[in-house]
Amino acid sequence: MAHKTINIKLRVWRQKDAKSKGGFENYELENISVDSSFLEMIDVLNEKLVSENKEPVAYDHDCREGICGMCSLFINGRAHGPDSLVTTCQLHMRKFSDGETITIEPWRVGSFPIIKDLMVDRTAYEKIMQAGGFVSVSTGGVPDANSVTIPKADADEAMDAAACIGCGACVATCKNSSAMLFVAAKVSQLALLPQGKVEASRRAKNMVAKMDELGFGNCSNTGACEMECPKGISLAHIARLNREFLAANIRG
């Protein structure tokens, strides 16, 4: 079978560390297989850089099958690049054309400071989770079937919200750097189920307070987060978060 390859030009953000001033570096790669993933393409670049005794490009990655949420990258102006419902590790080079210049930037969010090159520190998400993204009581082992009844629609919606992998694409693509879709997914996932409902008010209040404190922006309902989310988390969850938050404040 003929193996299709392309030649590409890269414009990659390089930054020595959090405090240094960064800038774009240009690279050229030849004979990149269209079947390789975007991260494999960067691996090829890094091997080339290492062989030339240059510093390889630092970037985040882990599972390379779209479930860990580690890979980030703002590619040609889009979070996770020019494909829908995928993380960068699932993005393939066939989405690019021969001779194309590809701009690669890190997530640019005040609350996600750059560690090095394309790596950002997403500890802010962990802090939001620590503020309320959990169920406090031990709910024991797996309950017997049908002993805790949950309507199918609620279970489905909680599962949809639970698909969030915390990659940060929503914040990265949001023109306001708002973390609302992330917080909404975490709040929804628990508020819809009986185990999580008990703490729903406190959770919504604490997670929103932490999100605000960490410097994320205000949601203006553009919907970009939903479109760029690799897991297709719906804006409807943000409406639920708003409801939960309002109700929590009315109850006091």
Burial class (CB in 10 A: 0-12, 13-18, 19+), 170: buried
**Distances 230 to 2, 91, 142 between C-alpha atoms, Å:** 31, 11, 29
The residue range among 25-33, 57-65, 119-127, 229-237 that interacts with another protein, by the rule CB under 8 A, is 229-237
Of the pair 5, 113, the CB lying nearest another protein is at: 113
> Which positions ≥6 away from 40 have C-beta within 8 Å?
none
Question: Is 222 a binder of another protein (CB under 8 A)?
Answer: yes
Q: Two tokens at 188?
A: 């929804």
Cα–Cα distance, 89 to 71 (Å, whole number): 7
Question: In sequence order, what DSSP letters do the residues of 65-79 get, joined into one string?
Answer: SSSS-----EETTEE
Question: Is 109 a binder of another protein (CB under 8 A)?
Answer: yes
**Shortest distance (Å) from residue 26 CB to another protein:** 13
The residue range among 27-35, 125-133, 143-151, 203-211 that interacts with another protein, by the rule CB under 8 A, is 203-211
Cα–Cα distance, 27 to 95 (Å, whole number): 19
Question: Is 36 a binder of another protein (CB under 8 A)?
Answer: no
CB 101 within 8 A of CB 25: no
**Distances 149 to 144, 156, 188, 193 between C-alpha atoms, Å:** 10, 13, 18, 10
- Which of 90, 111, 189, 201 binds another protein (CB under 8 A)? It is 111
The residue range among 51-59, 133-141, 189-197, 220-228 that interacts with another protein, by the rule CB under 8 A, is 220-228
Of the pair 73, 193, the CB lying nearest another protein is at: 73
**Shortest distance (Å) from residue 87 CB to another protein:** 16
**Shortest distance (Å) from residue 192 CB to another protein:** 12
Question: Is 228 a binder of another protein (CB under 8 A)?
Answer: yes
Question: Is 50 a binder of another protein (CB under 8 A)?
Answer: no
Question: In sequence order, what DSSP letters do the residues of 121-180 get, joined into one string?
Answer: --HHHHHHHHTT-S--S---SPPPTTTS---HHHHHHHHHHHT-----HHHHH-TT---H
**Shortest distance (Å) from residue 123 CB to another protein:** 16
Of the pair 77, 194, the CB lying nearest another protein is at: 77
Question: Is 235 a binder of another protein (CB under 8 A)?
Answer: yes
CB 10 within 8 A of CB 28: yes
Question: Is 115 a binder of another protein (CB under 8 A)?
Answer: no
* Interface residue list for another protein (CB under 8 A): 13, 24, 74, 76-78, 103, 105, 108-111, 173, 175-178, 180, 208-209, 211-212, 215-224, 227-228, 234-236, 238-246, 249
